[in-house]
Amino acid sequence: MERMQQVVGRARAAFNSGRSRPLEFRIRQLKALERMVQEKEKEIMAALKADLSKSGPDAYSHEILGVLGELVLAMEKLPSWAAPQPVKKNLLTMRDEAYIGYEPLGVVLVIGAWNYPFVLVMQPLIGAIAAGNAVVVKPSEVSKNTAKLVAELLPQYLDKDLYAVITGGVPETTDLLTLRFDHILYTGSTAVGKIVMAAAAKHLTPVTLELGGKSPCYIDKDCDLAVACRRITWGKYTNCGQTCIAPDYILCDPSIQGKVVENIKATLKEFYGEDVKSSPDYGRIVNKRHFERILGLLAGQKIAYGGQTDEATCFIAPTILTDVSPESKVMEEEIFGPVLPIVTVRSVDEAIEFINLREKPLALYVFSNKKQLIKRVISETSSGGLTANDVLMHSVLPELPFGGVGHSGMGAYHGRFSFETFSHRRACLIKDLRWEVLNKLRYPPGSMEMLHL
């Protein structure tokens, strides 16, 4: 705890020194991060493989490519993001300077998650640095190789006092949350999100919470099923289903349930071959606890495909469940694994009602050839984000904010939104000390006639 206080204290002193304010300094730090990612690519990939059995290309495209993209974007756009924004003035302020200034918040805390352990600390870190803050990073202890690597690498490339890494589990994080930060960005579960917000409330610290939930995927009868199922298969089983925006469950008409299963089966063979366990491209569950948790969800379910497991390697085969009851366990919690339940509904109305009876999800998916139907689903539901006719993709466009709503979270980041999340937008009005005559209108003794001017 004492060490933590020292680290945070040093970060605060470093922030107060003002050296993170000049844009050139921030860009230099971002450039150093870029060098780190390029020079240490092998080490990063090795850590991801050790933690999650992530294959090379998968790890690269999910965790490295995205990070490099954010870095380039931030370095390119920082001058325009950070520039004061003049605003529309009214009659009384016509002669004045009125603008919104972007300022750093101070010392911010980034708490990462284990499923995309590198990108989920790096992307917030990039935004926090770009906005001029000092940053304390707390990577997930569950993905321990990546956590160790991040703790080793960041001090080698970045200003050691301004940017610090604190490692540890629940007790360490609980201690850390008693300290005062100027913003906390947390990625993780809904339950812990509440704990983080309650801790933040004690210091009136604003929070961005990237949580989760069950992301529904509605498949309309009128759509290209083969294409839809290929895209869904990709989004569901990548990273072995351990993706916060993975399509959690399918809603479709009973008449196409069989075809959906067939199409997904075919795609799975296409992706992972006949023996999925020996495919280098199929991951594993992160640890025994989650392995057992997901296994428990299969109890009593109609397994249409898959279901094979191997505890020793935390392997769970890509699994599809059919005719799932909305009341069953697998429909209660976020699955976060390679198990895809299909719940049948008779119409899009029923699907919308089903979705709206539940907590707002982080992502929502709808597949249909009918533009009108898609428009309806968007207008009559709410979710963090949405992709129609594909999955996951709304999260890769940096121009779109990435975040949840309701139980799936609050706030957003990625691209410019990261910068804004970690900045204070300060209203600035600079008047002249002269031209007092204009002010006389507002001074007492007041006259009601004056106001009607």
Name residues contacting other proteins, limited to 186-215 (CB under 8 A): 190, 193-194, 197-198, 200-202, 204, 206, 209, 211
Nearer to other proteins, 6 or 356 (CB): 356
Work out which of 7, 27, 32, 100 binds other proteins, going by CB under 8 A: 100
Nearer to other proteins, 92 or 323 (CB): 92
Q: Shortest distance, CB of residue 447 to other proteins, whole angstroms?
A: 7
Q: Are 81 and 419 in contact (CB under 8 A)?
A: yes
Beta-carbon contacts of residue 324 (< 8 Å; ≥ 6 apart):
249, 301, 302, 330, 331, 341, 342, 343
HEC assignment per residue over 384-435: CEEEECCCCHHHCCCCCCECCCHHHEECCECHHHHHHHCEEEEEEEECCCCC
Q: Are 68 and 394 in contact (CB under 8 A)?
A: no
Q: Are 137 and 125 in contact (CB under 8 A)?
A: yes
DSSP state of 141: S
Q: How many CA atoms lie within 13 A of 169 on its CB side?
A: 2
Nearer to other proteins, 158 or 374 (CB): 374
- Based on the shown chain and the rule CB under 8 A, indicate whether residue 400 belongs to the binding site for other proteins: yes
Binding mask 216-235 for other proteins (x = CB under 8 A): -------xx--xx-xx--x-
Lookup result for tokens 């004492």: 2
Cα dihedral sign, 241-243-248-250 = negative
Nearer to other proteins, 165 or 237 (CB): 237
Q: Shortest distance, CB of residue 176 to other proteins, whole angstroms?
A: 17
Work out which of 72, 152, 289, 310 binds other proteins, going by CB under 8 A: 72
Q: Shortest distance, CB of residue 182 to other proteins, whole angstroms?
A: 7
Lookup result for tokens 């294409």: 227
Lookup result for tokens 């770009």: 130
Work out which of 10, 89, 221, 265 binds other proteins, going by CB under 8 A: 89
Work out which of 8, 105, 177, 184 binds other proteins, going by CB under 8 A: 105
Work out which of 6, 9, 35, 76 binds other proteins, going by CB under 8 A: 76
- Based on the shown chain and the rule CB under 8 A, indicate whether residue 331 belongs to the binding site for other proteins: no
Give the DSSP H or E segment for 343. Answer: strand 339-344
Beta-carbon contacts of residue 447 (< 8 Å; ≥ 6 apart):
none
CA distance linking residue 134 with residue 85, whole number of Å: 24
Beta-carbon contacts of residue 47 (< 8 Å; ≥ 6 apart):
117, 118, 143, 145, 146, 148, 149
- Based on the shown chain and the rule CB under 8 A, indicate whether residue 405 belongs to the binding site for other proteins: yes
Three-point CA angle 331, 214, 258, nearest 5°: 60
**Please, which of residues 41-70 interact with other proteins by CB under 8 A?**
55-58, 60-61, 65, 68-69
Work out which of 146, 383, 418, 421 binds other proteins, going by CB under 8 A: 383
- Based on the shown chain and the rule CB under 8 A, indicate whether residue 307 belongs to the binding site for other proteins: no
**Please, which of residues 268-287 interact with other proteins by CB under 8 A?**
270-273, 279-282
Work out which of 44, 47, 75, 256 binds other proteins, going by CB under 8 A: 75
CA distance linking residue 232 with residue 236, whole number of Å: 6
CA distance linking residue 221 with residue 257, whole number of Å: 10
Burial, 336: exposed, middle or buried (Cβ in 10 Å; 0-12, 13-18, 19+)? Answer: buried
Total of residues contacting other proteins (CB under 8 A): 108
Work out which of 51, 63, 161, 182 binds other proteins, going by CB under 8 A: 182
Q: Shortest distance, CB of residue 326 to other proteins, whole angstroms?
A: 18
Binding mask 241-270 for other proteins (x = CB under 8 A): -----------------------------x
- Based on the shown chain and the rule CB under 8 A, indicate whether residue 95 belongs to the binding site for other proteins: no
Angle between helices 348-356 and 371-380 (to 10 degrees): 20
CA distance linking residue 255 with residue 232, whole number of Å: 19
Q: Which stretch binds other proteins (CB under 8 A): 71-79, 135-143, 284-292, 298-306?
A: 71-79
Nearer to other proteins, 49 or 148 (CB): 49
Q: Shortest distance, CB of residue 204 to other proteins, whole angstroms?
A: 6
**Please, which of residues 423-442 interact with other proteins by CB under 8 A?**
424-434, 436, 439, 442
Looking at the DSSP bridge assignments, the partners of residue 364 are 386
Enumerate the active-site residues: 210, 244
Work out which of 412, 418, 420, 421 binds other proteins, going by CB under 8 A: 412
Nearer to other proteins, 170 or 201 (CB): 201
Residue of 357, 403, 365 whose CA lies nearest to 384: 403
Q: What is the largest CA-CA distance in the chain?
A: 88
Lookup result for tokens 């390697």: 313
Q: Shortest distance, CB of residue 87 to other proteins, whole angstroms?
A: 4
Q: Shortest distance, CB of residue 15 to other proteins, whole angstroms?
A: 11
Radius of gyration of the chain (CA): 25
Nearer to other proteins, 303 or 400 (CB): 400
Nearer to other proteins, 135 or 165 (CB): 135
